Structure 1
Amino acid sequence: MRITVLGSAAGGGFPQWNCNCRNCAGVRSGSLRAKARTQSSIFVQPGNGSDGGVDGLLINASPDILTQIQRNPALQPARGLRDTAIAGVVLIDGQIDHATGLFMLRERTSPLPLWCTDPVHEDLSTGNPVLRVLQHYCGTARERIPLDGRAFSSPAVPDLLLRAMPLSSKAAPYSPHREAQVPGDNIGLSITDRASGRSVFYAPGLGEIDERVFDAMSTADAVMVDGTFWTDDEMTSLGISGKTARSIGHLPQSGPGGMIEWLSRLPARTRKLLIHINNTNPILDEDSPQRAALAAAGIDVCEDSQVITP
């Protein structure tokens, strides 16, 4: 299995267009050793994907998708006058930074294969009616993601087997479930390559880890999980927001019960990566003590265009 990290930042990207926090100002001026990042999304292909022309699945459609396609030739193999290696899209939630990139794929000549849960389909048909708008263009061929652990796959990419798990996080602000979560607002995905048996657990929005989530993480060869905030009070301490990390559905890395503590319990063989990193998170500074703490714990920070082979 070949995973291309198309985007590794949280909503707004890095630097965020209107932010002058230490990180954003530093990366713009070049005074901070950090890499700019687009909004989070991954592209998964079976096998090693190195031969070119291998179709795969786009997991989340970022608003930055056009830039991400241009930067990653694997998504545009140019086998014909009109071509794409994106055989379908799988959404883990209905958030703007994960779903509005669907608009940019509207020039398809056939309906876009799309997997999402019922609550996400509702959000993207009502509160933010992306799917209704797309009906005026290519349209979508929507498939329901089962939440009972049953495996599903794309007929166009049968060698990738996916299983979804409802997570504790937050629905989009325009969702009727924002303050009353229902199963399927946010999911984690276990993705397995049938041929090699290698697997990854992907959960860029993760507010809480319980036993069943940890079991899924423990059985994966790699985990790519929520790296949004370093501390629970990250945005409140900067005066950016009155909300904590946990209150908007993100488990911070540091502190008791934080992501670092959970990841340290995984088997030594598990590759551990953080994705969906907010522009305020000090781990973006490659010389920060927080980044050093991650390195000491064997935890990597995803970068755009990084290729991962679990």
Structure 2
Amino acid sequence: MELNDIDLNLLVVFSELLIERRVARVADKLGLTQPSVSNALSRLRKLLHDDLFIRTPKGMEPTPYASQLAEPISFALSTIRSSLNQQPEFSPDTSTRRFTIGMADVGEIYFLPKLMDRLAHVAPHVSVSTLRNTSVNLRDAMEAGQIDLAMGLLPQLKAGFFQRSLFHQAYVCMFRQGHPLQGRKISLKQFTEADHVVVVSPGTGHAQVDDMIERKGIRRNVRLTVPHFVAVGHILSNTDMIATVPERYAMECLAPFKLAYVKHPVELPGIDINIFWHAKLHKEPGNQWLRNLIADTFSDAARG
């Protein structure tokens, strides 16, 4: 007999009859009707060519063949039950796992210093790799399990993905300390007349900000276009150019590059920065732990 010849539920009924010895009790325990239990026993008798249980005043007594099957079937069902109910644990203090996180360079600048410092204290052997959201097909890579989670402004991750909010932020106008525009509100005229460095960041929601400005009919004097945020701090600190950037990124650039920022003169919608993960990893303990750690470290809600 092959395993596909038998319904596993029949073995469950068999195992319970060995314990309870009465059809009514088994039916009550399994949430079945008595005819359903009797029918299951009848099917099992035909498959195994044995009566299996004989009705007596003391209840259903197993035949010698049923007694022979009792231990291996009980062991097999117990193993299956334990395997299905087993919840793997994640121990951050001893784990040597490497997590892969998808994020843009602007996210690396803001998130990684604080995240790695936190990991050094709570998970000293855990390591992290990052992949730029623009360098891979993020959706496919997450579906394939190549990326554990992604962080940022990622409107393309919808169906099949979970998300958790970290914070809401605005766009600001950033420039070097001592810039002629520092210390006062920038007018739209001053904004359009200034020299701009623009970050073109395809594959992220940040790319939409330039479209928003253009749709408002605002024409900037764009002197430089770069494909990432990494160089912006260096560029602004040594020129009189200005840049439109997310506020949290601007905050990280102030001290290292001696920069300043002010409220943006163009009415731009704020942006939501989230954690994203694929549904297949929703209950995976390591992924759950990392998501919670990131939320505790960066979310406005966690910080009150």
TM-score bracket for the superposition, by shorter chain length: under 0.3
The alignment's TM-score, normalised by the length of structure 2, stands at: 0.24
- Highest Rg: 1 or 2? 2
Name the one with the larger helix percent: 2
